[in-house]
Amino acid sequence: MPRRPSFESLQASLKRLSLEEKQQTLEWLAQQIKTETEAEKLVPPTGAGDSSRIAIVEQQHYEGKTYQLEKRRCGKEGCVCLDGKVSEVGHGPYWYAYWRESGKLKNMYVGKRAPWETLNHKRQSVQAYNS
């Protein structure tokens, strides 16, 4: 295990800080905790068993974001998606976008079509209209 400063020595260092520095440290720490908690919530569990809520069908990188085609359990009581493997009974698959914004992990529901598929689809429709 890598050597880490003990909590006591960390406390001693923190005590030497000015009031302003202590406040800054507190804010920084709160931000760190928030970011890490959010990251844990958003990163889909890998190699999870049947209890998993998300099954990743496909993963793509597009315009600085990670897109995942996922099947999900909605979590509603009595829903068909609760009985069986999420990869089989989950809703979808639907695309979700994941990205970082000032250090925070964000995610967004995209829908049945990935953005690049929507572009192709539109292009095809336009071609069909013109021909």
Residues that bind Zn ion (CB under 5 A): 74, 79, 81
* Residue 27 or 83 having the CB closest to Zn ion: 83
Q: How far is the CB of 117 from Zn ion (least distance, A)?
A: 24
Whole-angstrom distance, CA of residue 42 vs CA of residue 24: 27
* Residue 53 or 65 having the CB closest to Zn ion: 53
* Residue 10 or 74 having the CB closest to Zn ion: 74
Q: How far is the CB of 52 from Zn ion (least distance, A)?
A: 14
**What kind and span of H or E run contains 5?**
none
Q: Which residue has the tokens 């049945």?
A: 112
Q: How far is the CB of 60 from Zn ion (least distance, A)?
A: 25
Q: How far is the CB of 80 from Zn ion (least distance, A)?
A: 6
Whole-angstrom distance, CA of residue 96 vs CA of residue 90: 14
**What kind and span of H or E run contains 80?**
none
Q: Looking at the chain, how many residues does it have?
A: 131
* Residue 92 or 115 having the CB closest to Zn ion: 92
| Strand, helix or coil for residue 46 | coil
